[in-house]
Chain A
Amino acid sequence: MSILGTRVVRTEDPRLLTEGGTYVDDLRVPELAQAARVTFVRSPVAHARITGIDTSAAKEAAGVVAVLTVADMDDLPPPPPDSGLTGTEGAPLPLGGPWSEPLLAVDKVRFVGEPVAIVITDDKYGGEDAAELVSVDYEPLGAVVGFDGALAGESLLFPPAGSNVAVSTGTPSDSAAFDACDVVVERTITNQRLAPVPLEGRAVAARWADGKLTVWVSTQNAQIARFVLAGALGLDPAGIRVVAPDVGGGFGAKVGIDRDALIVGWAAKHTGRALRWAETRSENMLGMTHGRAQRHTVKIGGTRDGRILAYRLEIVQDTGAYPRMGGFLPFLTCLMASGAYDIGHVETAYQVVVTNATPISAYRGAGRPEATAAIERAVDLFAAEIGLDPGEVRRINLVPADKFPFTTPCGATYDTGDYVGALDQVLAGAGYAELRAEQARRRERGDVLQLGIGLSSYVEITAADADGGETARLVVHDDGTATVYTGSSAHGQGHHTAWAMLVEAELGIPMDKVTVIHGDTDLIPAGVGTYASRSLQLGGVAVQKAAVEVKDHARKLAADMLEASEADLELDVGRGVWQVRGDPAASRTWAQVAAHAGDTGLTADVNYTEGKPTFPFGTHLAVTEVDTETGQARLIRHVTVDDAGTVLNPVLAEGQRHGGIAQGVAQALLEEMVYDAEGNPVTGTLVDYAIVTAAELPSFELLSSETPATINPLGAKGIGEAGTIGATPATQNSVVDAVSHLGIRHIEMPLTPARVWAAISEAREGR
């Protein structure tokens, strides 16, 4: 029996549990033995002109090696030219031109936390002291805060651009499509700004020696980081080595390498000193990119008996002070706007605006949770308006199983799925009818603790850049062990376990004899890395294909050794030996075959690309208890189907679902990055930013469903982001549902006690 699909515990864990991982700040390599510490001087104001920087006092402080500002950056290439993308569909790249983002601030600062100077010291604590001595004069400019502040345009972040709107695109509204509906509901919904908060913040170490820059960085993509470093510092990529050691979580906010880490790389080259930087959490909350930050206007129309006929989604994307991902996030949101439903008429439009806040980038889901949140709220609003059960409205409108592949009006082609099946499985697993009965009893009794039941049926896109592919190199050694070099990159997902399982399944080389190496551009120059739930369906398939290639080569070698025809040779995967069919005594081990390969070795290199992305789907059902006296909402059950095709290792897949659900619930109930009217962040520490804890969550009820993908041999789709996509709207819908009998139709996220209490009070006063 193949090891694939079985519950294998992780090979990564013994080391992590006994000696801890080796994260960037844990590196004790000789190259960094004399490394100095970098401390950033950051803007304390949201928007200002810099009129002077005095570094003299800091430079004289004990232990200070250097204090550097933009004036020292005379060895950089010019900024990138205008991408020409303004006003059109965006791309996942900065816009350039008038929207260019510097490294250290030039003349102006545009968000609290923007890097203005760095202090290099021998000692960590000394750096914090010396940074306090750098004196910067700021002449305040009008702060642009929030969607409306940006659109008002009274103050501009980039005056040469002439507007705070960086991208504007979409289709005009067709009123005829909505006029044909019995019922039309319209509402504005905020998908709030979140902080990703990987437990390890950003960290980097850099050393310039012998004309080569080595950068150790906490990243999801070593190879992309090398490419970005080369461009930003004007270096040949061949002269840069990027190493991603253990990475303490990423969630999209560690894609590539960001501005602060580029500054450290530059400073190492500029000063010739090996340098280290590991940010504090307070820096992380302001300097690491945030996610979400979209305002939606949804319009949904249909018949009184529950058929949805038309849907419009308009988005304003707050991209923060610099449009790092430009129009990419709302582009993905629009692509997935119609969700899991078969809706005849769908319109989308979006604007990307700059504000004086931390730049926005990917956060677990990156545009897709926003799409699902909008449509799933809209479907509930529609169901409430026509007085039908939200489960029933979903069943009527979900794309039926016999319509795949299904191309939406938004241009996405959903590959495989059974959306109604997922809904029914969750409703049955949760005991939906009994939950509704219990809800009715509590309403009848007028209980303080009311019950809410929320649904979310979703479809998402994984490996959206499937044509970007992924690399794998597999080497079988003459001691019978194997090494996998993968372009994919792990930061908790369990790649080492999964990739070793693939090798064992294909070659019969036991997992404990398989070493997996990732995240070192000297060893793996080509690769893409990890984002968009792409690892298994691209990187995993690449490993499997490399194993098949090795097997084909080994068959020839074994045939030669055993003086048999290739056709008579078989690999006994259980024993990991090659043998002549019908004659088990005539056999060769992997060690023997690899030795026979000679100097050429037993090696395969694969760059696997997939022409199309895949579309995982599922349904989440959240049950909340809402205290109608205090407004406190508590999640008490969460039941899900997350169908991501064939599952390689249920242990790993469930872990991805659990983590995503928690983050999704956290967005619905707890988390929000808040700025005041002057653009000051007021949730800049983990005391103020309500990251979810164990005490606020129940155990989750995961149901299993596997509808294989047909475009790759593993049948795999991505699973990394299912949780945040499904859980947020289910939880939000459940809280609204708990108080819907009071006439409440919507409450904005996060559904804090204050917000829920205010909604209840308003509803009761309105009677």
Chain B
Amino acid sequence: MKVTVTVNDGEVAAEVADRTLLVHFLRDVAGLTATNVGCDTSSCGACTVLLDGRSVKSCTVLAAQADGRAVTTVEGLNDGSGELHPVQRAFRAEHGLQCGFCTPGMVMASVSLLAENAAPTEDEVRTALEGNLCRCTGYHNIVRAVLAAASEGQRQ
């Protein structure tokens, strides 16, 4: 079937098998490999992207379901100015990533959280990120990064 998705402000159209998952559409058709697959049970969140501005696990969405809709991946977060997005900047400043594999999904989940709750508490951050697994950081610096990005957002 033919699927047309707006990916990071560009249109990607392709003929794909009906069962194609959105994450494979992004990686293999759109050629955007930052979004990773870390499990097969929708548990790990490495594949988290924004679909029409809300976070989804792209391993659990068919490409067909994204037809005519807009997807944002971590590659589309900074506006082309070369500046990091505030959440990306906070992850770097707070050492919120190590191996980097969970990072694109973790960043997108954090962006989605802050869009819904601009000033979360630590407990709210921890609960909101429960669906995104990281094996390297113990979450300590990820939580700090999200809180730092939130307070930077509050100052602006």
Chain A residues with a Cβ under 8 A of chain B: 9-10, 12-14, 16-23, 25-26, 28, 124-125, 197-201, 246-249, 251, 278, 280-282, 491-494, 651-652, 654-655, 658-663, 685-687, 691, 693-695, 697, 699-700, 723
Contacts and interface: CB of A to CB of B under 8 A. Distances in A.
B99 A492 contact: yes
A693 B100 contact: no
Main secondary structure of the interface of B (DSSP, over half): loop
A697 to B, nearest CB: 6
Interface string B119-144: 00010011101111111111111111
Interface string B57-92: 000000000000000001101100000100010011
B115 interface: no
Q: Which of B19, B44, B127, B144 has the most CB of A within 10 A?
A: B44
8 contacts: A9-B95, A13-B97, A20-B103, A20-B104, A249-B136, A663-B135, A694-B143, A695-B126
Given A659-B138, A697-B139, A247 B99 contact: yes
A16 B75 CA distance: 10
B6 to A, nearest CB: 19
B43 interface: yes
A246 B34 CA distance: 12
B126 A686 contact: no
B46 A199 contact: yes
B36 A20 contact: yes
B85 to A, nearest CB: 8
B134 to A, nearest CB: 7
Contacts, number: 179
Contacts of B31: 28
Contacts of B144: 699
Given A28-B33, A199-B133, 4 more contacts: A18-B88, A23-B36, A246-B99, A492-B100
Contacts of B100: 12-13, 16-17, 20-21, 246, 248, 492
B138 A658 contact: yes
Contact of A23 (B43, B98, B101): B101
A17 B125 contact: no
B103 A251 contact: no
A693 B133 contact: yes
A20 B138 contact: no
A655 B41 contact: no
A33 to B, nearest CB: 13
Interface in B34-49: 34-41, 43-44, 46
Given A18-B78, A248-B101, A249-B99, A695 B130 contact: yes
A687 B41 CA distance: 7
Contacts of A200: 36, 38, 99, 101
A694 B122 CA distance: 10
A493 B39 contact: no
B102 interface: yes
A143 B133 CA distance: 33
Given A17-B74, A17-B88, A18-B77, A685 B41 contact: yes
Interface string B96-112: 01111111100100000
A9 B93 contact: yes
Nearest 5 A/B pairs, CB to CB? A20-B34, A248-B101, A662-B138, A492-B99, A492-B98
Contact of B74 (A20, A124, A246, A661): A20
Nearest to B122: A699
Contact of A687 (B43, B107, B132): B43
Interface residues of B, number: 57
A610 B73 CA distance: 46
A473 B126 CA distance: 43
Q: Which of B101, B107, B132, B137 has the most CB of A within 10 A?
A: B101
A16 B96 CA distance: 11
Contact of B99 (A18, A198, A654, A700): A198
Given A17-B91, A125-B17, A695-B126, A659 B40 contact: no
Contacts of A658: 137-141
A405 B78 CA distance: 54
Nearest to A723: B138
A125 B143 contact: no
B138 A17 contact: no
Contacts of B98: 249, 492-494, 655, 659
Contacts of B84: 14, 17-18
A35 to B, nearest CB: 12
Nearest to A697: B139
A480 B88 CA distance: 30
Given A9-B95, A691-B133, A695-B126, A662 B139 contact: yes
Contacts of B33: 20, 22, 25-26, 28
B114 to A, nearest CB: 15
A539 B106 CA distance: 31
Q: Which of B38, B46, B91, B104 has the most CB of A within 10 A?
A: B38
Given A492-B99, A694-B129, A694-B130, A17 B92 contact: yes
Q: Which of B40, B46, B132, B133 has the most CB of A within 10 A?
A: B40
Contact of B44 (A20, A654, A686): A686
Contact of B101 (A249, A282, A652): A249
B50 to A, nearest CB: 15
Nearest to A246: B100
Contacts of A685: 39-41, 43
A124 B28 CA distance: 11
Interface in B1-42: 17, 19-20, 24, 27, 31, 33-41
Q: Which of B19, B103, B125 has the most CB of A within 10 A?
A: B103
A39 B70 CA distance: 32
A551 to B, nearest CB: 30
Nearest to A282: B40
Given A125-B19, A281-B40, A492-B98, A20 B75 contact: yes
B74 A695 contact: no
B95 A199 contact: no
Given A249-B99, A281-B38, A658-B140, A686 B91 contact: no
B69 to A, nearest CB: 22
